[in-house]
Structure 1
Amino acid sequence: MAYNQDNDYLMIVKVDNQCNIKLININQCNYVNSLADNLKSSSSSSSSPSPSSSSCSLTPSKQLDNKQSELINLIRSQLKLWINSLGVQSAEAQNLKEPITCHTRFIQGSFRSNSPLKHNDSIYFLVHHQSVNHQPSTTITNNDNSSDENNRIQLNAIGLIRVGFRNLFLQQSEQLVNVNRCFSILDFYITRQRQGLGKLLISCVLKDQTININKCAFDRPTSALLSFLGKHFNLGSPQKQHNRFVIYDGFFS
């Protein structure tokens, strides 16, 4: 389901509208463990450094901290491109006239700049982490000028979910109920279809939010998404609401 090579794998990146970044593990394919393994293997395969070189070299823990910092800076520099590009692709897949997810609206927390209602949404990206042999346009390179391919990293966002909390009026039996801070899935798109990546991304979001999927409200889901939820999460009989959200059995229990 996830890439399993040492330097070629998938990772989850969570970003809020304050541009705070959190890296989330996918099973054992997480960035920190992979870097630690790389540092361990490279140190065991290399010859013992001379006293002069060891005095100016970083310890593995410091190397790890530096690489994490560089990775986060690289992600931050790509956020606008990732959000706008995947937002447009999502809109096209849903036959929408304009994207419902774009960088400007995400940062400002509303669909319109003059809206008094602001939302603190988050976006989870599914990112392909890949080491490359040549110097790409967006890379991380260590300061030691090493030619090791492990020091050059390329990131490619291949999916996103935008989530947030909404105050919704939802139908419960014969009543219209006001649900405060309802966890809502607002946009969802994966560039690589039928590879298990969509299920992987949603599962990681649910785990990070510590919520069951039948407690989520889905904003204007397409028929393809409803079919996907039924196939991979056993969600049947969607309950369509007047506000175009959809909930499932167990939402109010």
Structure 2
Amino acid sequence: MEFNFCINDVLPHRLNCIDGSMLPDSFESDDRQMIAECQQKVAIILDKIGVSSGIAQGLQTPVTSSDRLRNSDHKVYLLTNPDGDGGDGTVVGLLKIGHKKLYVFDAAGKHHELTPICVLDFYVHESMQRAGCGRMLYEHMLQAENINPEYLALDRPSEKLLGFLKKHYDLVHIIPQNNNFVVYDRFFSTNPDLLPGYKNSAKIDSSRAAGKSSFSITPASGRALVSRPVGAMDKAK
């Protein structure tokens, strides 16, 4: 995906993270004009690739946009091709994550109130699919967040994404939910102490990085939840 400015000047690394500040994680200047110019270009990038992702999904409103990210606690990981567009660089894909408050069933049918990290948008440009870009982007996010893939909730995953997770992370068995999010059995089974429904830390695989990614679980209250089929999302990986 090309732009009318040099992508490499805005996103200097192959893998970049944008948060609610609308600045790449590598940005260091204190100059107000440079900050404003960078934020403006980041907004253009997010809006354009967000529209492309939305079209791929058949959505009327993109999941990813500058307005949705600005001043939020969500993050967008962007993958670039520095050699693209005659050396100015191109944007290859995006992966948007963020915490969401969910009511989730475990394998025993009990539901819990959680705030896990969720995969909200995942898109690789059509010209760069089946080239390992999705794996590179997803793996970078897992390492950056210090989390294992089974501890992520997925918002309306497509069959392609489900197949991707099965192939690369051996995630197969989905626990049916009453919303459009998907969690796997290993969300709970690899951490049996999560089942009682109290605050816990989700230990990550030592092969990824040192540290922990934690989230809290409390028993859900209120009206009963009824399972329904999970929606599908047509995202290219």
Q: TM-score, normalised by structure 1?
A: 0.61
Q: Distance in 2 between matches of 1:190 and 1:131?
A: 15
Of structures 1 and 2, the larger Rg is shown by 1
- 1:107 lines up with 2:70 in the alignment: yes
Taking structure 1 as reference, are residues 84 and 21 closer, same or farther at Cα in structure 2, changes over 3 Å only?
Answer: same
Amino acid aligned to 2:161: L
The partner residue of 1:205 within 135, 141, 145 is: 141
SS in 1 for 2:62: coil
* Contact in 2 for aligned 1:169/1:177 (Cα 8 Å): yes
Range that drifts further, 75-84 or 120-129: 75-84
Unmatched segments (≥5 aa) in structure 2: 1-11, 192-237
1:175 match: 110
Indicate conservation of the 8 Å contact 1:220/1:245, yes or no.
Answer: yes
Q: Looking at both structures, which has the greater relative contact order when contacts are Cα pairs under 8 Å and sequence separation is at least 6?
A: 2
**Aligned pair in 2 of structure 1 residues 98, 72: CA closer, same or farther (>3 Å)?**
same
**Cα separation, partners in 2 of 1:131 and 1:235, compared to 1, 3 Å:** closer
Instruction: Please state which structure has a larger fraction of its residues in helix.
Output: 1
Q: Does 1:230 align with 2:166?
A: yes
Matched-pair contact (CA < 8 Å) for 1:215–1:251: yes
Deviations 1:154-207 (A, max 9, x none): 13211001111111110012211111x311110000111100110000000000
What amino acid is the match of 1:185?
V
- In the alignment, structure 1 segments of 5+ residues that lack a partner are 1-8, 24-64, 110-119, 134-152
Distance 1:161 1:72, change over 3 A: farther
Displacement, 1:108?
Answer: 5.0
Cα deviations by residue, 1:50-71 (Å, 9 ceiling, x for unpaired): xxxxxxxxxxxxxxx99xxxx9
1:18 is displaced (CA, Å) by 1.4
Deviation at 1:15, TM superposition (A): 0.7
| Equivalent in 70, 77, 83 of residue 124 of structure 1 | 77
Contact 2:23-2:38 within 8 A present in 1 as well? no
Compute the displacement of 1:75 (Å).
5.5
Give the drift of 1:241: 1.8
Partners of 1:75 and 1:131 in 2: how far apart? 20
Among 74, 96, 118, the residue aligned to 1:162: 96
Residues 130, 78 of structure 1: alpha-carbon distance in 2 compared, 3 angstrom cutoff: farther
Q: Tell whether the 8 Å contact from 1:10 to 1:128 is kept in structure 2 after alignment.
A: no
Secondary structure class of the residue paired with 2:90: strand
Identity %: 28
Instruction: Give the letter for the 1:79 counterpart.
Output: V
Matched residue type, 2:89 = L
Aligned to 1:189: 123
**Corresponding pairs, count:** 171
**Cα distance, 1:74 vs. partner?**
7.5
Matched, 1:82 2:45: yes
Partner of 1:251: helix, strand, or coil? Answer: helix
CA drift at 1:13: 0.7
TM-score normalized by the length of structure 2: 0.65
Matches within 5 A, 1:125-144: 125-130=78-83
